[in-house]
Amino acid sequence: MHVPDGFINAPLSAVTGVAAAGAIAVSLRGARRELDERTAPLAGLVAAFIFAVQMLNFPVAAGTSGHLLGGALAAILVGPFTGVLCVSVVLLMQGILFADGGLTALGVNITDMAIVTTVVGYAVFRGLVKVLPRRRRSITFASFVAALLSVPAAACAFTLIYAIGGTTDIAIGKVATAMIGVHVLIGIGEAVITALTVGAVVAVRPDLVYGARGLEQKLKLRVDGALVDVPAVPAVPASSAPVAARTSRRGLWITGLVTSLVLAGFVSFYASANPDGLEKVAHDKGIDSRTEKHTSSDSPLAGYGVKDVSDARLSGGLAGVIGVGVTVVAGSAVFWAVRRRRTADVSPTSTSAV
């Protein structure tokens, strides 16, 4: 659903750019509360994983494909504020390096693909886990539904943006029907990917899933015929955490990175070559008649291939590996800086009396 330059007029592109910048500023502050010694290293990996899986277009209808948006997935794994930042980092890397999604339309894409999907997805997820039994399966089910609904929500958001600032005279009802219809199907694929990923992490390290915190079922003992809560065990300081736990966390990170590299560097070659939902609708309805040349169209990695590498498999694989590497480095740098700022905010010197 990457919106190219030319779909939305300049004034609305500027407005969405300001709105996206404001949301990112808010997310940077909110992420300080979400990122800790457990989630900070995972956040950069989540961004890289989303980049990799977005290269895997899957067929959804005749001549149409879809790909992961990732907002719900990121929000559930590392928190909604950090999730907005994860997807924004991915969109920035895709726009600058791979000419995917217009640069003047970056505000539109962040608003639609990062903010809307994250907010809607996490809101649905939190609503469901409050009423479902406190079990791991509930986390997986809530993840499925949240991701499923986040995609058509993004389609609705694009339709609204296009209704206000679209550059072609197309009946908005036709755009809405086509966009929502195809993205409901894409949402099913998004839901499956999100549920499988969240379920896999929850099965191994539930403590690393932001959306699963506080959902543990309290143990009870029967005393004199009545059930009473078992006293909570005091938390172990991070500095004294078992070596096995730290090793497991490192192993999960390495496994996730290797998986992302394999998906982007090898599996992506077998992805569907059909246009995605927005591209298909834009072509069928004439929305793409005003598409402008991408500013980064001459990038060595434009189109997810390495320039001057003639072998398509090798070119695409190298581009995917480079993309994952750049995204994990950029994302980790951002989240490390946010985490460091949080540490500085709560340090003794920052709370000393004046």
pLDDT, tens digit, 9 for 90 and up, residues 205-242: 888 899 998 765 544 555 666 655 545 444 445 444 45
C-alpha angle 22/33/139, rounded to 5°?
100
Q: Kindly tell me if the per-residue pLDDT of 51 is higher than 70.
A: yes
pLDDT at 266: 96
How big is the chain, counted in residues?
Answer: 354
Cα 241 to Cα 174, 198, 204, 237, 245, distances in angstroms: 57, 24, 17, 6, 7
Task: At 210, list the tokens.
Answer: 């932001």
> Does 133 score more than 70 pLDDT?
yes
Partners of 50 in the beta sheet?
Answer: none
Q: What is the CA radius of gyration of the chain?
A: 21
Q: How confident is the model at residue 147 (pLDDT cuts 50, 70, 90)?
A: very high
342 φ, ψ (degrees, to nearest 5): -65, -45
Query: What's the average model confidence in pLDDT over 18-28?
Result: 97
Mean pLDDT of the chain: 89
Give the pLDDT of residue 39: 78
pLDDT for position 61: 83
**Dist CA 166 CA 168 (whole Å):** 6
- Segment 196-203 mean pLDDT: 94
* Domains annotated on the chain, with CATH: 10-221+248-344 (1.10.1760.20)
- Per the structure block, which two tokens stand in for 332? 């980790």
Angle of CA points 45, 306, 281, to nearest 5°:
75
Average pLDDT over residues 335-342: 85
Whole-number Å distance between alpha carbons of 72 and 146: 6
- 329, burial (CB in 10 Å: exposed 0-12, middle 13-18, buried 19+): middle
C-alpha closest to that of 111 among 68, 64, 158:
158
Which stretches within 55-135 are classed as H helix?
71-78, 80-97, 106-109, 117-131
The model's confidence at residue 134, banded by pLDDT at 50, 70 and 90, is confident
> Tell me, what's the pLDDT at 233?
42
Task: Give the pLDDT mean for 130-154.
Answer: 95
User: CA 284, 285, 288, 290 torsion: positive or negative?
Assistant: positive
pLDDT in tens, 77-131: 999 999 999 999 999 999 999 999 999 999 999 999 999 999 999 999 999 999 9
For residue 46, give the nearest of 109, 142, 118, 101 by alpha carbon. 118
Residue with tokens 């639609």: 112
Cβ neighbours of residue 12 closer than 8 Å, sequence gap 6 or more: 108, 161, 164, 165
Tell me what pLDDT residue 232 has: 47
pLDDT in tens, 159-182: 999 999 999 999 999 999 999 999
For residue 43, how many C-alpha atoms fall within 13 Å in the half-sphere facing its CB?
34
Give the pLDDT of residue 177.
Answer: 95
pLDDT for residue 341: 78
For the chain, the straight-line distance linking the first and the last C-alpha, in angstroms and rounded, comes to 51
> Exposed, middle or buried, 122 (CB in 10 Å: 0-12/13-18/19+)?
buried
pLDDT tens-digit profile of 234-274? 444 544 445 555 557 788 899 999 999 999 999 999 999 99
10 Å Cβ neighbour count for 340?
A: 13
The 10s digit of each residue's pLDDT in 288-317 is 998 999 999 999 999 999 999 999 999 999
CB 159 within 8 A of CB 180: yes
